[in-house]
Structure 1
Amino acid sequence: MALPSLVLFDLDGVLAHYDHAPRLEVLARRSGASVEAVSRALFESGLERDADLGLHDAQGQVDAFASLLGLPVSLDDCVAARCAAMRADPEVLAIAERLARHAQVAILTNNNLLLRDHLPTICPPLFPLFAGRVFCSAQFRLAKPDPAIFQRCLADLGTTPDRALFIDDKRENADGARRAGLRAHHYRDLPTLRAALCQFDFPED
């Protein structure tokens, strides 16, 4: 089995821990709205889903959120809120840094353009390792587990499916990658990830 020339990582749940609650709290504090009102405007309205599918650019997402909330909200507010909600997983990041000595590494996340465009500010430890190689569902207007999103992402990276490995904490997304012809690992914990990487012939260094 040839060593993968690309390792494609999911973001939330693999490279980083994510929690809705701090994000809602920051947006509530900065806007003066209640946490419940923020949740309704961001999630229950369908805004976040629409943004993840590319129906809004970064500023358009902020403007739509402010309109739904009925209060002023800035791009900086939304970036700060997302920053409060996530933190890089140092152990998975260390694995990514090791793999980068043998293969290209990149991110493919079901997420919006606001996150993609501001990820160096939102989660600085991921950079410069993933600089220029962060891809999201919004830019393709497709979402995992649709096999087409993997094909589009790999085309942009100049890699064929048979040379790529995808890692995601959702089984259905790993299955979608396999349908697109990639090798895939359903991430559950560090020991099983390390064992899988050995099976894919990555050196232990």
Structure 2
Amino acid sequence: MARERATALLVDFDGVLRRWDPAVAAGVEREYGLSAGVLGEIAMQWGRLQPVLTGQVSHADWMTSVADALTPSVGDAERARAAVAQWQRYRGEVDPEVLTFVREARAAGIRVGLGTNATDLLDADLAALGLTDELDVVVNSSAIGVHKPAPEYFQAACAALDTPPARVLFVDDEDRAISGARAAGLSAYRWNGPADLRYLRAVLAG
């Protein structure tokens, strides 16, 4: 049976609409004598990451815990905090091709939501990147207390979009999120890069 045409679009933030230049973290790590990749490795340890993605701790507290974990590597707590602060000043960049796609969808009457596992810094990031008025809804895991790929996350996203799951197209760069969305009844597309936009435009055009 053919699926219903999507009337709403839910896009992931990091890895889709926002991209990160790995050279920034690498430069900080070199400057402070840290091993390559250690900032991301510490920050993304699930026991440290999960509480901030569900709103149990703040972004600031999360970064304090990263600095605490780094202290033995740099030998000085103040220096560890300085390294983390310098790393965090960079807030990524908007992918211009994805933003154009979002604008086209909205102009065609499709509701567009940002569906992201994020911290309480998300609103400030959206403002800094000029995205505040580019989206109809923002579904932030830390604000609703549940993260992708949980079915409750996608239920909340569809409710925010005021659209039934069968009519929502979800785009994300993580397989687990894609699987979770499909299990919740959404159409889901695994993002590989801007070359995918031609296909996604065709899907939305019906």
TM class by shorter-chain length? 0.7 to 0.9
Is 2:96 the counterpart of 1:95? no
Question: What per-residue deviation string (whole Å, max 9, x for no partner) do you get for residues 71-105 of structure 1?
Answer: 356x9767523x1xx21111111111100112111
2:153 partner SS: helix
Is 2:30 the counterpart of 1:22? no
User: Which amino acid letter does the alignment assign opposite residue 126 of structure 1?
Assistant: L
Q: Choose which of 155, 161, 164 in structure 2 pairs with 1:151.
A: 155
1:22 partner SS: helix
Deviation at 1:40, TM superposition (A): 6.5
Is 2:145 the counterpart of 1:141? yes
Count of residue pairs brought into register by the alignment: 193
Distance change >3 Å, CA 79–CA 135, structure 1 → 2: farther
Unaligned runs of 5+ in 2: 72-76
Question: d(CA) in 2 for partners of 1:158 and 1:45?
Answer: 31
2:196 corresponding residue in structure 1: 192
Q: How does 1:1-205 map to 2 (within 5 A)?
A: 2-23=4-25, 25=27, 34-36=33-35, 38=39, 42-44=43-45, 46-68=47-69, 69=71, 70-71=77-78, 72=81, 80-81=89-90, 83=91, 86-101=92-107, 102-114=109-121, 116-122=122-128, 124-130=129-135, 133-201=137-205
Question: d(CA) in 1 for partners of 2:189 and 2:165?
Answer: 14
Question: d(CA) in 2 for partners of 1:6 and 1:113?
Answer: 25
Deviation at 1:129, TM superposition (A): 0.3
Is the CA contact 1:10–1:168 (under 8 Å) kept in the aligned structure 2? yes
TM, length-normalised to structure 2: 0.74
Is the CA contact 1:62–1:78 (under 8 Å) kept in the aligned structure 2? no
Question: d(CA) in 2 for partners of 1:53 and 1:18?
Answer: 22
1:100 partner SS: helix
Question: d(CA) in 2 for partners of 1:173 and 1:180?
Answer: 11
TM, length-normalised to structure 1: 0.74
Is the CA contact 1:177–1:183 (under 8 Å) kept in the aligned structure 2? yes
Is the CA contact 2:7–2:167 (under 8 Å) kept in the aligned structure 1? yes
Distance change >3 Å, CA 39–CA 158, structure 1 → 2: closer
User: Which amino acid letter does the alignment assign opposite residue 101 of structure 2?
Assistant: I
1:129 partner SS: coil
Question: d(CA) in 2 for partners of 1:190 and 1:154?
Answer: 25
